[in-house]
Chain A
Amino acid sequence: MTAEAAVKYVTEIPEEEVKRVSAWINTEEYKEKNFARQALVINPPHACQPLGAELAAHGFEGTLPFVHGSQGCASYYRSTFNRHFREPAPAVSDSMTEDGAVFGGQNNLHEALENAYTIYKPKMMAVFTSCMPEVIGDDLTAFIKNARNKGIVPQDYPLPYANTPSFNGSHVHGYDAMLLSILQSLTEGKKVEGRCTGKLNLIPGFDCNTGNYREYKRILKEFGIPYTLLADISDTFDSPLDGTYRPYPGGTKLEDAADSINGKATLTVAPFSSAKTFTWIKDNYSGTHVSLPTPFGVAKTDALLLKLSELFGKPVPASLKAERGYAVDAMTDAHQYIHGKKFALYGDPDYLIGYVSFLLEMGAKPYHILCSKGNKKVEKELQALLDSSPDGKGCNIYMGKDLWHMRSLLMTDPVDAMIGDTHGKFAARDAGIPLFRFGFPVFDRVNLHRSPLIGYQGAINMLTAICNKFIEIRDETCEDRHFEMMR
Chain B
Amino acid sequence: MSEAPIKKVEGITKESTQAMIDHALEIYPEKAKKKRAPHLAPNEGEGACVKSNRKTVPGIMSARGCAYAGAKGVVWGPIRDMVHVSHGPVGCGWYSWGTRRNLVTGVNGVSQFAMQFTSDFQEKDIVYGGDKKLKTLLAEAHDLFPLAKGISVLSECPVGLIGDDINSVAKVASQELEIPVIPCNCEGFRGVSQSLGHHISNDTIRDHIIGTREFAEPETPYDIALIGDYNIGGDVWSVKPLLEEIGLNVKAVWTGDGELEKIAATHKVKLNLIHCYRSMNYMCRVMEEKYGIPWLEFNFFGPTKIRESLRKIAEYFDDNIKEKVEKAIAKYDPIMQAVIDEYRPRLEGKKVMLYVGGLRPRHTVNAYADLGMTVVGSGYEFAHGDDYERTSVEMPEATVIYDDASEHELEQFVDELRPDLIGSGIKEKYLFQKMGIPFRQMHSWDYSGPYHAYNGFPIFARDVDMAVNSPTWKLVKAPF
Binding site for B on A (CB under 8 A): 7-11, 13, 17-18, 21-22, 25, 30, 33-34, 37-44, 46-48, 50-51, 66, 69-73, 75-80, 82-83, 86-98, 100-101, 108-109, 111-116, 118-120, 130-132, 135-136, 165-168, 170, 239, 241-246, 404, 407, 423, 426, 430, 443
* Chain B hits for A115, CB < 8 A: 28-29, 32, 57-60
Once the chains bind, are B141 and A120 in contact (CB under 8 Å)? no
Closest Cβ–Cβ distance, residue A111 to chain B (whole Å): 4
Once the chains bind, are A83 and B435 in contact (CB under 8 Å)? no
Once the chains bind, are A94 and B59 in contact (CB under 8 Å)? yes
Selected A-B contacts with CB under 8 Å, 27 pairs: A21-B110, A33-B143, A40-B140, A44-B120, A71-B66, A72-B66, A75-B427, A76-B65, A76-B91, A79-B427, A80-B95, A82-B429, A86-B430, A88-B431, A95-B56, A95-B57, A96-B189, A101-B189, A108-B58, A109-B58, A111-B31, A111-B59, A119-B59, A135-B161, A168-B122, A241-B433, A242-B478
User: Known interface pairs A18-B110, A71-B62, A73-B188. Does A9 touch B91 (Cβ–Cβ under 8 Å)?
Assistant: no
Once the chains bind, are A42 and B59 in contact (CB under 8 Å)? no
Once the chains bind, are B435 and A245 in contact (CB under 8 Å)? yes
User: Known interface pairs A18-B110, A111-B31, A167-B122. Does A47 touch B94 (Cβ–Cβ under 8 Å)?
Assistant: yes
B407 at the binding interface (Cβ < 8 Å): yes
Closest Cβ–Cβ distance, residue B443 to chain A (whole Å): 10
Closest Cβ–Cβ distance, residue A409 to chain B (whole Å): 14
User: Known interface pairs A83-B426, A97-B189. Does A245 touch B108 (Cβ–Cβ under 8 Å)?
Assistant: no
Once the chains bind, are B81 and A118 in contact (CB under 8 Å)? no
B361 at the binding interface (Cβ < 8 Å): no
* Chain A hits for B95, CB < 8 A: 47, 76-77, 79-80
* Chain A hits for B216, CB < 8 A: 9-11
- Complex Cα–Cα for A426 and B411 (A): 38
* Chain B hits for A21, CB < 8 A: 110-111, 146-147
Closest Cβ–Cβ distance, residue B411 to chain A (whole Å): 7
Q: Which of B94, B157, B215, B259 contacts A135 (CB 8 A)?
A: B157
Closest Cβ–Cβ distance, residue A242 to chain B (whole Å): 6
Closest Cβ–Cβ distance, residue B407 to chain A (whole Å): 7
Once the chains bind, are A39 and B119 in contact (CB under 8 Å)? yes
B158 at the binding interface (Cβ < 8 Å): yes
Once the chains bind, are A38 and B140 in contact (CB under 8 Å)? yes
Once the chains bind, are B436 and A243 in contact (CB under 8 Å)? yes
Closest Cβ–Cβ distance, residue B68 to chain A (whole Å): 6
Once the chains bind, are A136 and B161 in contact (CB under 8 Å)? yes
- When each residue 271-304 of chain B gets 1 if its CB lies under 8 Å from chain A and 0 otherwise, what string results? 0000000000000000000000000000000000
* Chain B hits for A246, CB < 8 A: 434
B239 at the binding interface (Cβ < 8 Å): no
* Chain B hits for A72, CB < 8 A: 64-69, 188, 194
* Chain A hits for B107, CB < 8 A: 18, 22
Q: Which of A11, A43, A70 contacts B188 (CB 8 A)?
A: A70
* Chain A hits for B68, CB < 8 A: 72
Once the chains bind, are B99 and A83 in contact (CB under 8 Å)? yes
Q: Which of A18, A71, A167 contacts B123 (CB 8 A)?
A: A167
Once the chains bind, are A48 and B190 in contact (CB under 8 Å)? no
* Chain B hits for A48, CB < 8 A: 89-91, 94
Closest Cβ–Cβ distance, residue B260 to chain A (whole Å): 9
Once the chains bind, are B118 and A41 in contact (CB under 8 Å)? yes
B116 at the binding interface (Cβ < 8 Å): yes
Once the chains bind, are A25 and B123 in contact (CB under 8 Å)? no
B465 at the binding interface (Cβ < 8 Å): no
Once the chains bind, are B133 and A39 in contact (CB under 8 Å)? yes
Once the chains bind, are A44 and B90 in contact (CB under 8 Å)? yes
* Chain B hits for A166, CB < 8 A: 89-91, 121
- Complex Cα–Cα for A201 and B252 (A): 60
User: Known interface pairs A41-B90, A167-B122. Does A22 touch B116 (Cβ–Cβ under 8 Å)?
Assistant: no
* Chain A hits for B125, CB < 8 A: 167
Q: Which of A9, A76, A82, A426 contacts B213 (CB 8 A)?
A: A9
Once the chains bind, are A39 and B56 in contact (CB under 8 Å)? no
Binding site for A on B (CB under 8 A): 27-29, 31-32, 55-69, 81, 85, 88-92, 94-99, 106-111, 115-123, 125-126, 133-134, 136-137, 140-141, 143-144, 146-147, 156-158, 161-162, 188-192, 194, 212-216, 259, 261-262, 264-265, 406-408, 411, 425-427, 429-436, 476-478
Once the chains bind, are A13 and B147 in contact (CB under 8 Å)? yes
Closest Cβ–Cβ distance, residue B52 to chain A (whole Å): 16
Interchain Cβ contacts within 8 Å, total number: 284
Once the chains bind, are A75 and B63 in contact (CB under 8 Å)? yes
Once the chains bind, are B90 and A46 in contact (CB under 8 Å)? yes
- Complex Cα–Cα for A17 and B98 (A): 26
Nearest-neighbor residue (CB-CB) of A49 within chain B: B91
Once the chains bind, are B189 and A10 in contact (CB under 8 Å)? no
Apart from A71-B62, A241-B436, A443-B99, 17 more pairs, CB < 8 Å: A7-B214, A9-B213, A10-B214, A21-B147, A25-B109, A25-B110, A39-B119, A42-B116, A48-B94, A71-B65, A76-B65, A116-B60, A119-B27, A166-B89, A167-B158, A239-B434, A404-B109
Once the chains bind, are A93 and B58 in contact (CB under 8 Å)? yes
Q: Which of B69, B141, B261, B406 contacts A75 (CB 8 A)?
A: B69
- Complex Cα–Cα for A94 and B191 (A): 14
User: Known interface pairs A25-B109, A47-B94, A88-B434. Does A41 touch B119 (Cβ–Cβ under 8 Å)?
Assistant: yes
* Chain A hits for B162, CB < 8 A: 135
Closest Cβ–Cβ distance, residue A382 to chain B (whole Å): 22
Q: Which of B111, B137, B189, B435 contacts A98 (CB 8 A)?
A: B189
* Chain B hits for A69, CB < 8 A: 157
* Chain A hits for B411, CB < 8 A: 245
- Complex Cα–Cα for A34 and B216 (A): 35
- Complex Cα–Cα for A13 and B64 (A): 38
Nearest-neighbor residue (CB-CB) of B143 within chain A: A33
Q: Which of B88, B147, B158, B212 contacts A18 (CB 8 A)?
A: B147
Pick the 7 closest A-B CB pairs, nearest first. Answer: A72-B66, A112-B59, A48-B91, A112-B58, A115-B59, A76-B95, A40-B137
* Chain A hits for B119, CB < 8 A: 39-41
Once the chains bind, are B477 and A97 in contact (CB under 8 Å)? no
User: Known interface pairs A79-B427, A91-B61. Does A131 touch B89 (Cβ–Cβ under 8 Å)?
Assistant: yes
* Chain B hits for A98, CB < 8 A: 189-190
Q: Which of A44, A113, A119, A136 contacts B28 (CB 8 A)?
A: A119
Closest Cβ–Cβ distance, residue A398 to chain B (whole Å): 16
Once the chains bind, are B262 and A10 in contact (CB under 8 Å)? yes
* Chain B hits for A423, CB < 8 A: 97-98, 116
* Chain B hits for A94, CB < 8 A: 58-59
Nearest-neighbor residue (CB-CB) of B106 within chain A: A18
* Chain B hits for A33, CB < 8 A: 143-144
* Chain A hits for B31, CB < 8 A: 111
- Complex Cα–Cα for A52 and B432 (A): 25
* Chain B hits for A245, CB < 8 A: 411, 431-432, 434-435
* Chain B hits for A7, CB < 8 A: 214
Once the chains bind, are B213 and A10 in contact (CB under 8 Å)? yes
Nearest-neighbor residue (CB-CB) of A423 within chain B: B97
User: Known interface pairs A44-B94, A75-B69. Does A89 touch B427 (Cβ–Cβ under 8 Å)?
Assistant: yes
* Chain B hits for A44, CB < 8 A: 90, 94, 116, 118, 120
Closest Cβ–Cβ distance, residue A84 to chain B (whole Å): 11
- Complex Cα–Cα for A255 and B81 (A): 55
Once the chains bind, are A131 and B427 in contact (CB under 8 Å)? no
Closest Cβ–Cβ distance, residue B261 to chain A (whole Å): 4
- Complex Cα–Cα for A71 and B215 (A): 41
Once the chains bind, are B189 and A82 in contact (CB under 8 Å)? no
* Chain B hits for A83, CB < 8 A: 99, 426
Nearest-neighbor residue (CB-CB) of A21 within chain B: B110
- Complex Cα–Cα for A72 and B213 (A): 34
Once the chains bind, are B477 and A243 in contact (CB under 8 Å)? yes
* Chain B hits for A37, CB < 8 A: 140, 144
Q: Which of B56, B115, B408 contacts A120 (CB 8 A)?
A: B408
* Chain A hits for B143, CB < 8 A: 33
